[in-house]
Amino acid sequence: MNAPTALNKVLDLIATTAAQTPDDAHAMPPQVYASPELWELEKERILRQEWYCVGRDTDFSVSGDYLSLTLLDEPVVVWRGADDQLRAMSNICRHRNALITEQGTGNKRVLVCPYHKWTYEDNGQLRGAPDVPEHFDKSAICLPQYPLEIWQGFVFVSLSAEPAPLAPRLGSLEELVGDTRMDQFAWSFRVPEKSLRANWKIMVENGMDGYHVAYVHPKTLGTNIQRIDSPWGDGQWNTSCERRNEPWPEHADDPQGLSELNRINTYTIGVFPLLLFSLDCHCLIWYSIFPVSADECVVRAGVAARSPDKLCSVGSPEPVDPQEYMQWVTELLGEDAPIVEGIQRAVQTDKAGCGPLIKGQEDNLQFFYRYLARHLCSQ
């Protein structure tokens, strides 16, 4: 019989950990965050198949607004056309493969490749190329497109030609929080992105983990939030919940049918594999993780609210100034960074282990573990 490969050993550990009951739940073993073989399988089974959240619909508020970024190793530009359509397309010039736009955001009517000035329309079609012969057929040249889906105002892009649609897998989450009408949050902004020397799953788990909040974020998030002792979840998502001491006061532009519970709850939601957001009935903060390599990821984050005066920091009923709010979200990320980067250094040593998950605090991580096992451990 063949000896099990390093990858098979890691997959066995993932399957065993994912199958543990809440009374016997443990963290994933360190190899899961450090194995180069597992990273290759994750790319094939998850990261090239699933959806990346690239922001809110309202982050691309007028035609011409774009975001240029790298998904795994693919340069992609997400761009709102003059026809109001949001599209995701390759950022690689069809001439000789120069990158067309630099990474970041902006607003352009056309994209011009810096190398020989080929010019593309906002649907990816080649509009012009200097000095080409008369018979040159521009109409045959178009930037390759990627699937794009909008769910509850979040914009998702996939590298797969035929990804499984996301919305049908999130029906039970919509039942829980759909009455907040986050799809109608009309105002949003992005926070500067941050690179982390950490495996993507460490950052994803950190975003789902309410246990650390009072200890890592006492200044930014406060310590007097009441946690509700029951994680919820389904195949594609999980949540834990905090409850304010007082419901938000009723307001004229509250959505119709908002439940009393969702006037008082703040949810921390993971949409697997890469999106995390905290949601109350007025606003949300999202974090989207972009894996780069087995030990590096980029975090993009942003805020969306019903209107700018509905920005409220957790625990405070007073509206918050948007500039201050951006600073606050940036600080939050900065508080997590040394922790997750420290974990990455630790999982590469032989003294790293896998301690127990604390029931009612961390057991919502098991939904994510089961998601990983389902995608990685099946044949």
Is 110 near ligand FES (CB under 6 A)? no
Answer positive or negative: Cα dihedral of 102, 160, 53, 345: negative
Q: What are the φ/ψ torsions at residue 69 (nearest 5 degrees)?
A: -155, 175
Which stretch, 6-14, 82-90, 113-121, 131-139, contacts ligand FES (CB under 6 A)?
113-121
- Range 284-323, binding ligand FES (CB under 6 A): none
Candidates 57, 336, 362, 363; binder of Fe ion (CB under 5 A) is: 336
Q: What are the φ/ψ torsions at residue 341 (nearest 5 degrees)?
A: -70, -35
- How far apart CA 327 and CA 79 sit, in angstroms, is 27
- Range 234-273, binding ligand FES (CB under 6 A): none
- Provide the b/e sequence for 325-349 (b: ≥16 CB within 10 Å): bbebbeebbebbbeebbebbeebee
Which stretch, 17-25, 120-128, 152-160, 333-341, contacts Fe ion (CB under 5 A)?
333-341
Q: How far is the CB of 73 from ligand FES (least distance, A)?
A: 18
Neighbours of 24 (CB within 10 A): 10
Candidates 67, 93, 176, 337; binder of ligand FES (CB under 6 A) is: 93
Candidates 98, 164, 167, 358; binder of ligand FES (CB under 6 A) is: 98
Is 242 near Fe ion (CB under 5 A)? no
Amino acid at the residue 197:
R
Which stretch, 93-101, 187-195, 263-271, 355-363, contacts ligand FES (CB under 6 A)?
93-101
Longest dimension (CA), the chain: 73
Is 95 near ligand FES (CB under 6 A)? yes
Is 96 near ligand FES (CB under 6 A)? yes
Which stretch, 94-102, 184-192, 303-311, 349-357, contacts ligand FES (CB under 6 A)?
94-102
Closest CA to 100 of 87, 89, 88, 114: 114
Is 9 near ligand FES (CB under 6 A)? no
Residue nearest to Fe ion (CB): 336
Partner in contact with 336, chosen from ligand FES, Fe ion, none, beta carbon below 5 to 8 Å by kind: Fe ion
Q: How far is the CB of 98 from Fe ion (least distance, A)?
A: 39
Give CA torsion, residues 42, 44, 49, 54, to 10 deg: 60
Alpha carbon distances (Å) from 136 to 66, 131, 132: 29, 10, 6
- How far apart CA 60 and CA 41 sit, in angstroms, is 33
- How far apart CA 122 and CA 56 sit, in angstroms, is 19
Peptide bond just before 322 cis, omega within 30 deg: no
- How far apart CA 302 and CA 329 sit, in angstroms, is 8
Which stretch, 111-119, 120-128, 181-189, 325-333, contacts ligand FES (CB under 6 A)?
111-119
* Residues forming the site for ligand FES (CB under 6 A): 93, 95-96, 98, 113, 115-116, 118
* Residues forming the site for Fe ion (CB under 5 A): 336
